[in-house]
Structure 1
């Protein structure tokens, strides 16, 4: 039987619903993801948009399992998975307009996963009309998850231990910042324009895994994340968790995050002053 439905209007998930979602993600990882880690056969890995854009049997198996379970718990909710969106692009628009949608990245960091690197995760977000109301960043290797609701703190949870409240870093001036920028996914002109930024901050890199990049941001281990690829399965959960950890996440043009936005640059930072300093450096370089 499904859990209680969300009150109208749907603004938050109950603790029981969140607990059920956590269990769904953990079961999918144990059943569909971890048994295939470093155990993929040639026929279980294929490409999508290019040679570095991989999909594995773990991605499709986990997404199918998670989608079925969520649909049973929340009848009528839209479920948008990364692999489902590849076959039905209109599903993304449907989810952005839905009163309640669940957005799933079943194996975020598939390239890492397929190459045997233990740096991948599962991302789950719940949205209301394109705005995140719940986010979860799960690490199958350590079996711990960072999560937040729109009206609560960002928490890190692990079985058998009390939840730990997370806070973003202290931020500061550019020379002292460490950040993540997905330069390889940007147009060539923008890559060239932003290349000098790497010499102006303390450290600039990428993990090829939004799940762990946003986890580091919420834990205060990095100071910012900049992305030009606005897939909601990569960002909806992380943006909410960043904000509930005390940070700021907006598009460079100042708009608040919305899963319906498909073009532009998304910048997440630990506080308003740091966000503005980064924006003032990055936006002019991009001609914005």
Structure 2
């Protein structure tokens, strides 16, 4: 592990630093995540805020391992993991104010993981004063990842190292668009408002996994993502990756996305025209009660 890297960086992460980060994630997946997949006992799974909001031993062990590696590489950075933030919510504020912060989702799609479904991933983002500047979404089962930084295009990298530049979909008429929406996480009054709006689109789904939803969007397989739960470990990396794949990701009210936003609706879409068209359909949400994080 490199020990001579600066405590704080002011420019893009170097290729060597990005490779080290990928190695940290891959090592945690091989050591703490994959050996537990489809092998968890009931005692290794617990509920957090809701019966379907789960945490497993894989989450806590992988987050601890990744956080240790990041702390060695960047001793001056703020490090926030999903599970650490659950125990200490002030970490979220500290990360938003930090010159450099790393945000970890050790097992995104924990419900899927705990139930033996393969749609889960590891998400790592770097932010500067709350704005995403690096994003990595890793699929432990395929041993591949999508990656981007503020100075480079989004790429998909296979287990063999083959890189492909990512481009989001070409959009199209509203009636032909497909997307992911997190309606089930919204309050019932908002769900009732949103449900008829979704009939304007060709198809709306949810994978219960932001990692794979953002991957699918960045690869051009869906046209938009709508979320009202703004946990930064779910979105910071995916927002940047989709932006660097040619997409638009900002709040439905038009504001830029930063990790300090806790209320509102985040809309990611294939291009400016698609974002505007989808936002026009979803405009009634702006007068609905905001979703609590």
- Determine whether 1:284 maps to 2:288: no
- Determine whether 1:92 maps to 2:92: yes
Q: Separation in 2 of the partners of 1:272 and 1:60?
A: 38
- Determine whether 1:198 maps to 2:217: no
Q: Separation in 2 of the partners of 1:285 and 1:248?
A: 19
CA drift of 1:286 comes to 4.3
Partner of 1:4: 5
Partner of 1:264: 264
What are the within-5 Å matches in structure 2 for residues 28-47 of structure 1? Answer: 28-47=28-47
Partner of 1:14: 14
Give the secondary-structure state (helix, strand or coil) at the position aligned to 1:154.
strand
Q: CA RMSD in A?
A: 1.2
Q: Separation in 2 of the partners of 1:97 and 1:248?
A: 24
Contact 1:137–1:211, Cα closer than 8 Å, also in 2: yes
Between the two proteins, the alignment pairs up a number of residues equal to 287
- Determine whether 1:218 maps to 2:218: yes
TM-score by length of structure 1 reads 0.97
Deviations 1:57-95 (A, max 9, x none): 000000000000000000110110000000000000000
Contact 2:178–2:203, Cα closer than 8 Å, also in 1: yes
Contact 2:7–2:77, Cα closer than 8 Å, also in 1: no
Partner of 2:291: none
Partner of 2:187: 187
Partner of 1:23: 23
Could you list the runs of 5+ residues in structure 2 that have no partner in the other structure?
289-293
TM-score by length of structure 2 reads 0.96
Contact 1:81–1:106, Cα closer than 8 Å, also in 2: yes
Contact 1:108–1:211, Cα closer than 8 Å, also in 2: yes
CA drift of 1:144 comes to 0.1
CA drift of 1:6 comes to 6.8
Partner of 2:208: 208
Q: Separation in 2 of the partners of 1:147 and 1:286?
A: 31
CA drift of 1:11 comes to 2.9
What are the within-5 Å matches in structure 2 for residues 1-288 of structure 1? Answer: 1-5=2-6, 10-287=10-287
CA drift of 1:162 comes to 2.2
Q: Separation in 2 of the partners of 1:143 and 1:3?
A: 28
Q: Separation in 1 of the partners of 2:250 and 2:106?
A: 25
Runs of 4 or more off by more than 4 Å in structure 1? none
Give the secondary-structure state (helix, strand or coil) at the position aligned to 1:267.
strand
